[in-house]
Amino acid sequence: MNLTRYDTATINKFSVDSQTGFLHVSNVPIARVGVFPYIGKSGQITMEAKLPDDLLTDSAVESANSKPVTDDHPQESVNVTNTNRYMKGLTANNAHVDGDKLKVDMTITDSALIKEIQGGKQELSIGFQTDVVPVKGTFKGMAYDSAQKNIQINHVAVVKRGRAGHSVRLTGDSAEMVIDDSQEKGTSMETTKIRLDGADVTVATTDAERILKLDADNKANNSKIAKLDAQIKALTAERDKLKGGADANKKSLDEAQAKADSLEKELAAEKKKFEGDALDQAIADRMALIDEVKPYVGDSFDFKGKSPKEMKLEAISKTDSVDLSAKSDDYIDAYFDSIKNRNNSGVVGYTGIETNVKTDSVDNKPAKDRYHLA
């Protein structure tokens, strides 16, 4: 945002040319780097920084050369269309940097203004254009809200008193930045002291009430900020707590997913057992086992849904009346094989082999009857 600013300094030493009567001021500081208060027309105070990289550049320094000197600040920028009305003198062409200050010589040519200066009107206030960039920071321990960039001096005004009174006027060989703009020609301003943050500060009397209100509002805002900060800390702690619970839940979910993945792989392995030829072989093995078990358990036994182990245990139970369910699969398999090798007369439902030989009526060859199961 490009704005017009007015900063004040005091005429330090001056001399009058004996031939022309012009008043000449040498090596006057008109600006320095630092952080300074500005009061807008709305009464709001902002702290703006003139940083070395902005004020002490070649462009800003050269802008102080050969610029109009005016009696108070005009209501507009000085240019070729209004110099007859506003210009009362001219700065020299020797603007330069001295430490952290910008200095220049100047000559006053207007007799009325010379008399006012000799009578005590000795403060200088530069009028300049600048881009005020809203960027926060600190310079030499002073906090600022904005920084002035692209500083270009338009004129140097001779004024009675800076907008904020003598507490911020330039004294000796230093330069002090002051306050805003709308200074009326010939207007004097009364000052008063108010207490801000435990210190006495001199301000314009007309601004005192507004500044105190702003200070009170600022303290109220700081209180609100502190409360909000406490709420944010509480919410942050609650968030961290919830995050911890979420991390624990995620661990449980990960463990459950790992188990599910393991079971899925196990299921896939089981499915492979019943694919293609493996399925045919599994069916053949089961039918063969049923044929082996049936003589021991009888035709009434329901084989549906029974595992090979369950069928063998049932056969063993029917044969020896023992419960081997707690034994290993290898033990059960061996025991079942042993009962198969026993005398077939002990098999449930087995009636033995008929030995009577029949003669086939056709070829007279003997034939044995098949086994008969109950």
| Residue of 319, 328, 270 whose CA lies nearest to 294 | 319
pLDDT tens-digit readout, 2-15: 555 555 555 657 78
pLDDT at position 7 is 54
Q: What is the pLDDT of residue 31?
A: 85
Assess whether pLDDT exceeds 80 at residue 235: yes
Does 135 score more than 80 pLDDT?
yes
Predicted pLDDT at 184: 36
Q: Nearest CA to 292 among 340, 229, 248, 346?
A: 340
pLDDT for 168 = 26
What is the percentage of the chain residues whose pLDDT exceeds 90? Answer: 30
Please check whether residue 315 is in contact with residue 332, taking contact to mean a CB–CB distance below 8 angstroms: no
pLDDT of residue 370 exceeding 60, the answer is no
Stretch 190-196: mean pLDDT, rounded?
60
For the chain, the average pLDDT equals: 77
The pLDDT of residue 352 is 39
pLDDT at 14: 79
pLDDT at 106: 93
Which two structure tokens, joined as six digits, stand for 40? 């807008």
DSSP per-residue letters across 143-211: EESEEEEEEEEEEEEEESS-TT-GGGS--TT--B----S-PPTT----EEEEEETTEEEEEEHHHHHHH
Q: What is the pTM of this model?
A: 0.44
**Range in 173-187, 193-207, 236-250, 259-273 with the lowest mean pLDDT:** 173-187
Task: For residue 179, give the nearest of 166, 192, 165, 163 by alpha carbon.
Answer: 163
Evaluate if residue 203 carries a pLDDT over 70: no
Per-residue tokens: 33: 């780097």
- What residues pair up with 153 in beta bridges, in sequence order? 128
**Band of pLDDT at residue 206, cut at 50, 70 and 90:** low
CA contacts within 13 A on the Cβ side of 300: 4
Among the ranges given (1-5, 55-59, 115-119, 133-137), the one the predictor scored with the smallest mean pLDDT: 1-5
The pLDDT value recorded for residue 8 is 54
* Average pLDDT, integer, range 174-189: 38
pLDDT at position 341: 84
The CA–CA distances, whole Å, from 35 to 46, 137, 146, 211 equal 10, 10, 9, 19
Asked whether residue 187 carries a pLDDT value surpassing 70, the answer given is no
Give the 3-state secondary structure percentages of the chain, helix then strand then coil, rounded to 5. Answer: 40, 30, 35
pLDDT digits (tens, 9 = 90+) for 260-316: 888 888 777 776 666 667 777 888 888 899 989 999 988 888 888 889 999 999 999
Q: What is the amino acid identity at position 97?
A: V
Of residues 104 and 188, more confidently modeled: 104
Q: How confident is residue 351, by pLDDT bands cut at 50, 70 and 90?
A: very low
Confidence of residue 344 (pLDDT cuts 50, 70, 90): low
